[in-house]
Amino acid sequence: MNPPYLLGVLGGMGPLATVDFMHKLLLATPAVNDQQQIPVVAWNVPQIADRQRALAGKGPSPLPQLLQALNKLTEAGASHIAIPCNTAHHWYDALAAASAVPVLHIVETTLSALETLTERPKHVGLIATQGTLDAGWYQQGLTKLGISPVLPTAKEMDEWFVPGCYAVKRDERVQAGELLLRQALALQERGAQILILACTEVPLALQAVDTSSLTPTLDPATLLAERCSQLWQAQHPF
């Protein structure tokens, strides 16, 4: 018999993206009353060291704080762990090795969803932190599926992505959306048929601006929420 389902959300990266993920969990579950919604315990502690700075060699590693969060969630009874931050998956192997319960992988979840598309695109754009791009998880997965990744340039990262990402953290979402929309359109102009919003703060920014001119997007946070909901519903069918 499976243990009681209690989802642990290892968040705080950033805090608004974590709240957004919690909302996506609700939307992903076709509940008709409170009791059918996913039981969740969340660690939304934004003092976790900056992931981008750590990977750039400009700040401390967040791993000790991530391990502390993992322990707190498992102590609270979490049966599964979700991490609504793509860049934090740089430390996924260490976290999974230290965890007594399954740690879901946001990148694998996204690539699995892409694989099931009826019409698979030939070119997919990535909007992500430099750390996520350098890790190559999405590029490797896309290549295995016969899809060519379309990546931001260094200039675009400096002028659009990074300031857009940090504008979300200041809750200046219109400014963030304007910057990240430019990034999205640039990838689209270079042939991207679908855009993967591979940073959990990007969807929050794009919601604040008119994206009617954009090609379809995939939101890994939404797909991760749907995966969490599927696991819940498998134990508690409605």
Average pLDDT over residues 168-188: 97
Decide: 142 and 124 in contact? Cβ < 8 Å. yes
Average pLDDT over residues 128-139: 96
Flag whether pLDDT at 3 surpasses 70: no
Residue 53 neighbours by CB under 8 Å, 6+ apart? 59
Secondary-structure class of domain 7-105+222-235 per CATH:
alpha beta
Q: 107-219 domain in CATH 3.30.300.30?
A: no
Q: Point out the catalytic residue in the list 88, 199, 204, 209.
A: 199
pTM value? 0.96
The beta strand positions in the chain, using DSSP E, are 7-10, 40-43, 80-82, 123-127, 148-150, 194-197, 217-218
pLDDT at 211: 97
pLDDT at 237: 85
Range(s) for CATH 3.40.50.1860 in the chain? 7-105+222-235, 107-219
Q: Point out the catalytic residue in the list 17, 78, 81, 85.
A: 85
How confident is the prediction for the chain on average, in pLDDT?
96
Coil/strand/helix, residue 195: strand
Flag whether pLDDT at 97 surpasses 70: yes
Q: Interhelix angle for 137-144 vs 106-115, to 10°?
A: 20
Concerning whether 85 is annotated as a catalytic residue, the answer is yes
Average pLDDT over residues 96-103: 97
Flag whether pLDDT at 1 surpasses 80: no
Concerning whether 199 is annotated as a catalytic residue, the answer is yes
